Structure formats: structure tokens, C-alpha cells
Structure 1
Amino acid sequence: MKRSLGAFWRMGAWLLVLFALSGSTAHAGSWVHGSYTNLWGTRGFQLWVPDGYVPGQRIPLVVGLHGCLQNPDQFAGLTRLNQKADAEKFLVLYPNQSTTSNGTQCWNFMLATNQERGMGEPSIIVGMVDWVKSRYWVDGQRVYAGGVSAGAVMTSILLSCYSDVFAAGMVGAGAMYKGATTASGSAYAMAFGSIYDPNARGRDAWSCSGQRRWPVPVLVIHGTEDSVVNPINGEQTVQQFLQTNDYGDDGRDNNSVPYAPTDVWYDSVPGGRGYYVKNYEYGGRLLVQKYEIQGMDHAWPGGDASYPFADPSGPDATTIMWDFFAQHAR
């Protein structure tokens, strides 16, 4: 009788282990839909669990932020980010802006409540990251964020105010942290560039993360003929994050991370667009990288042509983004 009872409890223990390993996860290569709520509101999200996901093996997490007039499905289709996740084995979290918060589904990056740590939409997105970490095997040293247009500006905010969460980020056809602080200022900045000094915003970004500050590696991709977000915004983003990293190494504005590329080269897509690449390195580490896509409008280069905002003639931004992320761990 004792042996039978012991066998029963051993079997129950194994069932509990199996449940713990599988009960809170999705089948590999599939979507998980959910929502997250905090004091600042509720937003839905979609999580892509890659093919080959195995509980117990920690993998990176990429936060993919859609632009205006987009949703997670459209952004995932445009970028083919899920296919890259399957190939490279990382999770992808797609926060979804609600139409009740913005009629065109733009992230409200220009509002003061969304430009500080622990507040607004950025806090909701970080809360989603924590939700994923609590249920899936995430490598906390390899959490990244990347977006296009309004999603790219939100990425600038996340990198600035949560450098302890994100190991690197990508700003595609976006703008710098606090490039605009009002709706009218946002319209001006998109058309002509921000009226604010990128160096001053660089210090603001360094301060926003509070006491737990880390280097902020960032990839900037912008078309030279962007008719929606003036290309000067891409250059201001580079300058802002170089200044943020200048403060980040020793807490002082002493040009220790200079505003000058350490390497520049030109390449082109066969039969497609040419592009310049500028690297900004410090201490042997690539901190900022900029791709200037010649002749490209407001688009995701190398994107799926069946979706809006794609420019298939450009280099594959999804591969460029992941290759940049893969170089960085917090």
C-alpha cells in the first residue's frame, strides 16, 4: 500500500512538472493574443512564439512597434519579422495601439505623459514585456525594441527611459526622444525637423532612465526622400543618442562619444536602391549605426510589397535590425 501511494505521488509530481513546462506556453510557431492594463490604460497585444520554442531555454525578445494606420498583423506581415524569429529563435511582442486612444492608431509619442519613465503608453508596453517574461523563457539581457514611423518614435522613448530593460533598439523613419511635446509641434517636426537641440534631448534621455542607466545602442534607418518624416529627424536621432551615450559612459558632457562616424561605406541592392552606412563606435563597441536609403520615401525597406509602407527595392531592414540586435546584450 505504501509503495502504491508513493508511486501515486511521484506520478502526480511529474504531471505538475509537465504542466509547469507546457501549461502556460503556446504551441511553437503560433500567435498568443492578450491585453495588459495598468493605471495608464489598457492595450491589446500579440505575441509570436517561434517555431522550435522550448520551455527551459531562454531566448531573446523583440518588441515590434507598428506605425500609424497599422496593427500588429500588418506590421508583422510587412516586416516578415515572424519568419526571422522562427529562423533565429526569438519571441516577438507586438503591442497594439487602440483606435479609442488614437483614431489613426498612432502611438501618442508627443504627449508629456508618454515621455517619462513609469507613465503612459511606454509603461504599458514595458508592463507587457514583464508579462511575457513571467510566462515565457526570456533572456532578460537580450530584450530589444524596434519600430517604424510613430512606432519608431515610441522606440526612442523606450530606449531613453528604460535603458535598464532594452539592450538595443531600431528607429525606422522616426524621430528622436522628445522631438515634439505637442500635437502641433509633432506636425512641425515631421515636416521640418525638431525645433529642439538634439544634445539637450540627449541629456534628457540619459536622465529619464533614472539611476539604473546603461549604454543605449541604436540603429537608425531613414529614406533620403521621406515625405512624411523629414530625413533630418533621422540625423537628429543619431545626434541625440550619441549625446545620451556621451553622458552614459561617465555622467559628463565631454565629447567622450564624439559626433563623428568611425566608419562609412556605400552599398546597393542588385537592381535596387543604394545606401550609405555610418558606424559610430566607442571602446570597440558599435553604439550607433545609421542607414541612409537613397531615394526611399516613408517605408520599411525590403518589406513585403503586399502591405502598405513597403519598399522592396531597399535592403532588408528586418535582417539589418536583427543583425544589429544580435551584437548587443545588456
Structure 2
Amino acid sequence: MSVTRNVGALCRAVVGLCALFGVLGASQAQAGSWVHGIYSGNGGTRSYQLWVPTGYQPGERLPLVVGLHGCLQNPDQFAGLARLNEKADQEKFLVLYPNQAMLANGTQCWNFMFSINQERGGLEPSVIVGMVDWVKGHYTVDERRVYVGGVSAGAVMSTILLACYSDVFTAGMVGAGAMYKAATTASGSLFAMKFGSIYSPDDRGYDAWACSGKPRRKVPVLVVHGTADDVVNPINGTQTVRQFLQTNDYGDDGANNNSVSNSPTQTYSATSPGGRKYTVRNYVTGGVLLVQQYEIEGMGHAWPGGNSAYPFADPAGPDGTTIMWDFFKQHSR
């Protein structure tokens, strides 16, 4: 079930009133505005924020982007860091920001490191997908264009959602994150962050495909990582690329036969207006850009081109939000 609130503290105090305001808020939400809510399901209870873009008209079918914040962040901070609402206003899409509860993790990290959250129907993934279903039930969402992207812990949760719910998410973005099941324990996650996963990306590629039921479906993924990331070793970005190439190899025709090549079809380098050099590797199969990797020279654990008023920003980098949306809008189920 979902309870939506637009009235802050009053809603928190009176759950029944929240539900009333939720129904009204969903049907009468003003363009360019926040809708706040609480979702409860079998996986637990989490709050969320939904950005309804400027010019939204009820009944208008729009894409939906799920934005997952990192540790020590909340939806407001991630939205401000990435300037994602501004992009949504320009390009006309809805943005859902699930919020990790401090009671679930004191640093507000998504608990991607525990096996209970690494499977279809897992606790936190099922809550996020339940929020997506709530948005679909109250707004006119183009189900062919539902995307997920995040930074750091939010990026790792994105890999889980892309692996286990490829029927829900059309494409995704992994920013300063790690591959699916890079580790299955808290201590293992700390090791993977520092040195890279001990597991084979090819094996995890199969596991990711299996988590969605071994579908004949490909999962386009954008991977962005800084070469100077001292929180999540950049090798994790390379492993994520390889894992999703393998997942797509299986998803292409159900077999491990290199029908999706693990060699880039195009590689080029450029420099951002802020002076950051970066390398892009494109992996195209059948004319479709399935995997794209941005490797940003000298960038630490950050969102490229982010707003410097917020932590984890690298203003000198290329515009990560534009890169993400430009990748997403190429893909429709």
C-alpha cells in the first residue's frame, strides 16, 4: 500500500489524513512540484518524493526516471546535486526519488550488500518497485520508458533492480557503483569497494540474467566512474560493464555465445568544458547502444558536472545528468 502526503508534519501525525491528501495530491499535483509520500509493502516502509515536471498535464504519457541517492544523502540532496528536476522540466519526464530510512541504515546507504536485497522480491528492491507501481497507478507513465539510475550505494541498488526487474526497467545508469552481487556480505562489500569484486563478472552476468527469470530481453546500461575514485575502486566500473555485457549476451538469444561482444565498437576521448578529460566506450549490437562506459580522468567519488553546493559533486566533469538522459532516451521497450 502507499500513503502520499503533501502536508509535512501533519501527515506524519495523522496517517489517515495522509491517505486523503495522497489521493488529492496525485490527481491535482501542480506542474513543477514535489509530491511527498510513504510506501509500505512486504519489504518494509520507506518515504519517497516524486517530481512532477513543469507543463505536466494529467493523462499525458511521460517517461519515469527513478533516481537513487547514495550514502549520506537524501532525495533533496541528490536532486540538487544532479540537477535532475531541471532536466525533467526541460525534457518532460517524472522523477521518483525513493528515500532510505535512517532506521534501516544509519548512513542512509541502500543495503545492497545483503543477500536479502539482491533477489527479485527482496526487501528494498521490492519496496522501490512498489513505489514505481504506485506512480503508474496515479500518473500516466509510459511503461516502455521506465529508467533507473543512481550514484554510489544508489548505483549498486540500480544494478540489482536492472538485474532482477528487467521487465520493469528499460535501461539504467550506474554511477560510481559496482556490478550485480559484487559481494554478498558487508565485509565482502568493503573489500570489493577497495579492491574490486572477487567474483567473475561473467558468472555474475549469468546470475543477473537468471534473477529476472532468464528472459529474452536485453538491458541497456550506462556506467560512469572516475579514475581517482578512492571510495569505490574504478575496477568496479570495468567489472560492471563486463557483467552487463554478459547479461545481455544471455538475454539476446538465451546462450553464452558472444552474440553481444565484450569488445567496444567505438572508443573516443574528449574534454569537458571544466577541463576533465574522459574516455567513452560504446558497445553496440544490432545497431543498438547496449552498454556505454564513461571513464573520467582524475574524478573522485562524485557525480560529474554536479552542483558544487552539494557533497559528492565534481563540477569540472562532463554533465552526468545530460549524459544519463541522452542514453536513456535512446531506449524504449
Asked if the contact 1:206–1:213 (Cα under 8 Å) also holds between the matched residues in 2, the reply is: no
Partner of residue 111, structure 1: 114
Q: 1:329 to 1:21 in 2, by over 3 A?
A: farther
Aligned ranges 1:290-329 → 2 under 5 Å: 290-329=293-332
- Aligned pair partner of 1:99 in 93, 97, 102: 102
Supply the distance in 2 between the matched residues of 1:260 and 1:134 (Cα, whole angstroms): 41
SS, match of residue 27 in structure 2: coil
The amino acid across from 2:272 in the alignment is: V
Moved more, 254-263 or 232-241: 254-263
Partner of 2:17: none
1:189-200 counterparts in 2 under 5 A?
189-200=192-203
Partners of 2:102 and 2:108 within 8 A in 1: yes
CA distance in 2, matches of 1:35, 1:26: 16
SS of 1:304's equivalent in the other structure is: coil
1:214 positional shift: 2.0
What SS does structure 1 have at the residue aligned with 2:125?
A: helix
Residue matched to 1:73: 76
Match of residue 268, structure 1, among 247, 271, 278: 271
**Which of 229, 235, 238 matches 1:235?**
238
Q: Partners of 2:47 and 2:24 in 1: how far apart?
A: 25
Paired residue type of 1:73: D
2:149 is paired with a residue whose SS is strand
- Could you say which structure has the larger radius of gyration? 1
CA change 1:118–1:274 in 2 (3 A) is same
- Going from structure 1 to structure 2, the CA distance change for 1:103 and 1:124 (only over 3 Å counts) comes to same
1:212 Cα deviation (Å)? 4.6
Give the alignment's TM-score, normalised by structure 1.
Answer: 0.92
Question: How far apart are 1:39 and its partner, in Å?
Answer: 1.3
Counterpart code for 1:123: S
Contact 1:163 1:213 in 2 (8 A): no
Other structure's SS at 1:306 match: coil
CA distance in 1, matches of 2:231, 2:131: 29
8 Å contact from structure 2 (residues 119, 211) kept in 1: yes
For residue 186 of structure 1, give the secondary structure of its aligned residue in structure 2: helix
Answer whether contact 1:28 1:53 (CA < 8 A) is retained. yes
Letter in 2 for 1:306: A
1:314: how far off? 0.2
2:182 maps to which residue?
179
SS of the residue aligned with 1:44? strand
Work out whether residues 142 and 167 of structure 1, in 8 Å CA contact, stay in contact via their aligned partners in 2.
yes
Distance in 1 of aligned mates of 2:119 and 2:254: 20
Paired amino acid for 1:256: S
Offset, 1:270: 2.9
Find the aligned partners of 1:198 and 1:109 in 2 and give their Cα distance.
17
CA distance in 1, matches of 2:48, 2:25: 21
8 A Cα contact 2:26 2:139, kept in partner: no
Structure 1 unaligned regions, length at least 5 = 1-19
- Matches of 2:186 and 2:117, distance apart in 1: 13
**Which residue pairs with 1:249 in the alignment?**
252
Name the SS for the 1:24 alignment partner: helix
Are 1:22 and 1:55, in contact at CA under 8 Å, matched by a contact in 2? no
Q: Which amino acid aligns with 1:209?
A: S
Give the counterpart letter for 2:108 in structure 1.
Answer: Q
**What TM-score do the two structures reach when normalised by structure 2?**
0.92
Root mean square deviation of aligned Cα: 1.3
Query: Following the alignment from structure 2 to structure 1, what is the Cα–Cα distance between the partners of residues 316 and 26?
Result: 43
| Number of residues of Structure 1 aligned to a counterpart in Structure 2 | 311
Match of 1:133 in 2: 136
Deviation at 1:272, TM superposition (A): 1.5
Aligned with residue 158 of structure 2, among 147, 152, 155: 155
Once residues 92 and 273 of structure 2 are traced to their aligned partners in structure 1, the CA distance between those partners, rounded to angstroms, is: 29
Structure 1 residues 22 and 121 mapped into 2: Cα distance closer, same or farther (>3 Å)? closer
Task: Specify the SS of the correspondent of 1:32.
Answer: strand
1:32 is displaced (CA, Å) by: 0.3
Is the CA contact (8 Å cut-off) linking 1:164 and 1:213 kept in structure 2? no
In the alignment, which residue of structure 2 is the partner of 1:283?
Answer: 286
The answer on whether the counterparts of 2:209 and 2:215 sit within 8 Å (CA) in structure 1 is: no
Q: Specify whether residues 28 and 251 from structure 1 end up closer, same or farther in structure 2 by C-alpha distance, changes over 3 A only.
A: same
Superposed CA deviations along residues 48-72 of structure 1, whole A, max 9, x for unmatched, are 0000001121000000000000000
